[in-house]
Structure 1
């Protein structure tokens, strides 16, 4: 149990460090900025930023997917997870345009946020 807690603590600290300092990977940091500015308001029930910026989120993901992965992040799973992130970011942009319920949109951005954290975790390992 202690070991599991310690691993979670280290992952949390690393993600906090990335958020504070950036990763040094410009495209990933740009995506993270838009993700934070759309997801965190959604956590509080404010979906307006997501509805207004879903296209930007998809564009940043597309740019990230096309970018060269810095050497320190060329790890197993990173490239394939970024492809999924780009696909799902594009899908959420299309989903926003269908005017879904707030609950469905919140569920979608939460899933996308979890995918983003998967990318970050793979970069850290």
Structure 2
């Protein structure tokens, strides 16, 4: 019985490591995630200051997501295409901020961007 519990715990622990790996192993993606987190969560609460201040930097970090630098174990066509989509959506959010679009419009686009980011993380768990 103890062996079964130990094996189960080891398996679950390995799943956690794999789930975090793309963010941990791909430094530009980790840096993107940090800034995304620092700008998205305040906007959920109605504070658009951070995204309005840092949309350009978020876009630069998205541009730095070079598909050729994706860690080998995650470099799949699905992840590549989703990273490309993330880059386009990040640029779109930045453009909305620059033209001073209404907060509701920025939020819709930002939520889409956030969903795309999490799709990449989910896809990396499938690999």
Q: TM-score, normalised by structure 1?
A: 0.80
Q: How many residues align?
A: 112
Task: Return the alpha-carbon distance in structure 1 between the equivalents of residues 117 and 35 of structure 2.
Answer: 11
Q: Which of the two has higher C-alpha Rg?
A: 2
1:59 equivalenced with 2:60 (yes/no): yes
Task: Return the alpha-carbon distance in structure 2 between the equivalents of residues 54 and 116 of structure 1.
Answer: 15
| 1:90 Cα deviation after fit | 1.0
Q: Which runs of 4+ in 1 moved over 2 A?
A: none
Unaligned runs of at least 5 residues, structure 2: 1-11
2:92–2:109 CA contact under 8 A, matched in 1: no
After superposition, the CA RMSD in angstroms is: 2.4
| 1:23 Cα deviation after fit | 2.1
Task: Return the alpha-carbon distance in structure 2 between the equivalents of residues 77 and 24 of structure 1.
Answer: 18
2:67–2:80 CA contact under 8 A, matched in 1: no
- Which has the larger helix fraction? 2
| 1:60 Cα deviation after fit | 0.6
Q: TM-score, normalised by structure 2?
A: 0.78
* 1:64 counterpart SS class: coil
